[in-house]
Amino acid sequence: MPCWFRFMIRIDTDKGWLLVEHPEHARLAGRFAARWGNDEFVAPEPRPEILFAVDHHDDAWAERDVPPHLTRDSRPSAFTRELVGKYSAFEEIDLADYLGVRGRATEAVAAAHPYAAIIISMHTVDLLTNQADLTRLSEADRALHKKFIDGQVRRQSELFVDLSSQRGYERSLEAASLREAFDFLQACDSLSLTSCVRYPSPIPLRGRHARRSGPAAELTCTPLGGDTYRISPYPFDSDDFTEEARCRHVAAGSFSDLASFRAAYAAAPVGVLPVRIVR
């Protein structure tokens, strides 16, 4: 029976695992997004809608009433540093359920925040096409995947048409502005994922980002140790700041089977993963 894959994000430690749930990772991305903008880099507009998209792009995971799972080798099933830059292992999930969660991520915000919903849907489509390895999908799952992607693209068009009739969105709906907002979510998301898995090597953040003058830039995240990361070129409003993501620490050896793991996870105190960003 396929497991519910990547319910959370995992850092392997000498004593066990630090586990960050996906909505909390999105909140960390949102905190980074709120700090974006300085003399060199401009934050995209409409800022409130785009910040909402970053902050809430993984909310649908919280709605999925499924407890955490274990991998075949008895580790918490989660997104890890080995999966950064990849999107595979579809054979380990119930694809219909998984796509349902991804679809609800768009619909959860569409009524109140249609522009945010477009950006979240663009993120979902990119995740499941440009970043995905679909080679192991069955023919039936390929058809399911295509139907889902086509539906997301159609939903983006519907939301676009609805917004185009409203005043104030003319520039925001231009192709360049949508791409800028999408790249912004991608960068904040990838910085949060990179720090939530303690990625050990320099890595580019996704997308290219508008400067106040000159060409758009790709940003690089370089780990310095101690949960500290240097971003270059630097887009934030302070040269040195720390944000936090809530997490739980589950000790190795504290469980012997799935039921005991779930009990250990539920009993683990909520702590924080501090993430320091420097110029």
152-179: b or e for each residue (b if 16 or more CB lie within 10 Å)? beebbeebeeebeeeeebeebbeeebbb
Residues 1-38 pLDDT 10s: 344 445 689 999 999 999 999 899 999 999 999 999 99
3-state class (DSSP) for residue 265 = helix
Residue 141 pLDDT > 70, yes or no?
yes
**279/195 Cα distance (integer angstroms):** 16
Quick one: pLDDT at residue 253? 84
Are the C-beta atoms of 200 and 223 separated by less than 8 Å? yes
Residues 80-89 pLDDT 10s: 776 676 665 5
Mean pLDDT of 174-179: 96
**266/226 Cα distance (integer angstroms):** 27
Amino acid letter, residue 176: A
Sign of CA dihedral 237, 25, 132, 277: positive
- On average, the pLDDT of the chain sits at 90
Q: pLDDT band for 63, please (50, 70, 90 cuts).
A: low
- How many CB atoms within 10 Å of residue 273? 22
Contacts of 264 (CB under 8 A, 6+ apart): 250, 251, 254, 255
Predicted model pTM: 0.91
Quick one: pLDDT at residue 1? 34
Quick one: pLDDT at residue 88? 58
183-217: b or e for each residue (b if 16 or more CB lie within 10 Å)? bbbbbbbbbbbbbbbbbeeebebbbbbbeeeeeeb
Amino acid letter, residue 169: Y
232 exposure class (CB count in 10 Å sphere: 0-12, 13-18, 19+): middle
37: left (phi over 0), alpha (psi -120 to 50) or beta: left
Quick one: pLDDT at residue 237? 97
Of 98-107, 190-199, 235-244, least confident by mean pLDDT is 98-107
Quick one: pLDDT at residue 4? 41
Quick one: pLDDT at residue 254? 83
Residues facing 271 on adjacent strands:
247
Mean pLDDT of 97-106: 90
Of 137-151, 169-183, 213-227, 249-263, least confident by mean pLDDT is 249-263
Reduce the secondary structure of 123-148 to three states and give it as a string: HHHHHHCCCCCCCCCCHHHHHHHHHH
Of 196, 184, 188, nearest to 223 by C-alpha is: 196
Quick one: pLDDT at residue 156? 98
**172/119 Cα distance (integer angstroms):** 11
- Helix residue ranges, H only, the chain: 22-34, 47-56, 60-63, 95-110, 114-128, 139-164, 175-196, 258-267
